[in-house]
Amino acid sequence: MSRYGINGVETILYGVDDVAVCTRYFDDFGLILHDQSDAHAHFVLPEGSHVIIRHINDPLIPKSSIVGPGVQETIWGVTTQDGLDRLIRDLSVDREVRVDEDGTAHTFTDDGMAIGFRVFKKIPVISAPDPVNSPGNANRINQHRKWRTRAHPKTIQHVVFQMPDYEASWAFYRDRLGFLLSDIQRGFGIFARGDAAHDHHNIYFLNANLPFKGPGVWGMDGQIRFDHTNFGVDDVDEVMVGANYMERKGWPKSSWGLGRHRIASSIFMYLPCPTGGQAEYGADSDHLDDAWVPRTWNPMFGFFSFITNMAPFMLDAAPWEVDFAPGYTPPRKEGAHGAPTASAGGSDAAPKPATASSDE
């Protein structure tokens, strides 16, 4: 039985430098524009979730600990009013919770991030990826694949924030909001999902002290910053058609290109976004239920099984060296530059499961 019934991201509120440019970006990206003005833009996805864009100095943007533009507030969906009422009551014990006329509750996490909650009755979405043929396995006969011209995301699958104390950030979501642990990327971050959600993760707490500087994914400076939002599409074809369309419209290309994560198994394409951070097309992610056992991963082994444009720091990742362990491994202290080191009484190398295998 779920604790509160948090079923995913209901709304993300961006604070940006240029509302008009960011509106055009997400229109080209494939989101459905619901309404707009000089001060804001409001997109609605087929599942019923929302993307709202306002200027970073708009008085409706909450003042929080996040640095720079990007997602300034995440509104989490709750399946029932009873669950929302219990959540408001429990959080009000030690912090102010403001409730709007429409029933949306707003508050702040222990690390100063703005969050909210409202009842979210997700609209069922229908995906129709084409059957896949492979040698000796014909599933599509006398029929060509769909010829897509645009990507049209259906869901907000997850948000990612760079957090200086990512373990403490995760602990708040676990202990106060009832989020569930999905996986740990050792020394890099923690994947978690709402207690009534089935996406592999709805949020990723990324270590803001990793030694990666500069623009793009994993450019960080030790401060609380927005990193990216993942928008769910049907399949790899829609990912690539969307990326091609964005390039034709003059938006910058992905620096890493197309890839697939081992953690979550998902296809990814990160695109630079004028909101700050990245906008990600995602497809074919793992679906989890209560039988899931979290795993602890070697960070590079877990990050990708393939990627079209490997960055220099990815070249040493050995895909044939299977390196993950089922079950929760306590967090370890970190050495210089965020490198994991063994904690007292622990081993630096995670044990390998007896069933681990690789066909690479």
Confidence of residue 332 (pLDDT cuts 50, 70, 90): very low
Confidence of residue 128 (pLDDT cuts 50, 70, 90): confident
Q: In the structure encoding, which two tokens stand for residue 185, read together?
A: 């990327």
pLDDT (mean) for 262-282: 97
Question: Which pLDDT belongs to residue 219?
Answer: 77
265 φψ region: left (φ > 0), alpha (ψ -120 to 50), beta (else): left
Residues in the chain: 360
Question: Which pLDDT belongs to residue 215?
Answer: 55
- Looking at 3.40.50.620, 3.60.21.10, 2.30.30.110, 3.10.180.10, the CATH number of the domain 6-123+152-338 comes to 3.10.180.10
Confidence of residue 80 (pLDDT cuts 50, 70, 90): very high
Q: How many CB atoms lie within 10 A of CB 81?
A: 11
Task: Please tell me the distance from the alpha carbon of residue 9 to that of residue 78, in angstroms, as a whole number.
Answer: 9
Question: Which pLDDT belongs to residue 356?
Answer: 36
**pLDDT tens string 33-49:** 999 999 999 999 999 99
Q: Is the pLDDT of residue 79 over 90?
A: yes
> What contacts 272, CB < 8 A, 6 or more positions away?
215, 216, 251, 252, 254, 255, 278
**pLDDT tens string 162-217:** 999 999 999 999 999 999 999 999 999 999 999 999 999 999 999 999 988 765 56
Q: What is the DSSP string of 264-282?
A: GG-EEEEEE-TTSSEEEEE
Between 331 and 173, residue with greater pLDDT: 173
Task: Please tell me the distance from the alpha carbon of residue 358 to that of residue 360, in angstroms, as a whole number.
Answer: 6
Question: Which pLDDT belongs to residue 321?
Answer: 65
Q: What are the start-end ranges of the H helices in 62-151?
A: 81-91
211-215, 232-236, 309-313: segment of lowest average pLDDT: 211-215
**Nearest in space to 188 (alpha carbons), one of 29, 311, 297, 55:** 297
Note the pTM of the prediction, 2 decimals: 0.89
Task: Please state, in angstroms and as integers, the Cα–Cα distance from residue 76 to each residue in 49, 138, 160, 186, following that order.
Answer: 10, 42, 14, 26
Residue with tokens 């990206």, as numbered in its chain: 29
H or E element: which one contains 27?
helix 19-29
What residue segments make up the domains of the chain, in order of their start?
A: 6-123+152-338
**Partner residues linked to 8 by β-bridges:** 77
Q: Is the pLDDT of residue 330 over 70?
A: no
Are 92 and 99 contacting, i.e. CB atoms less than 8 angstroms apart? no
Task: Please tell me the distance from the alpha carbon of residue 269 to that of residue 233, in angstroms, as a whole number.
Answer: 11
**pLDDT tens string 8-27:** 999 999 999 999 999 999 99
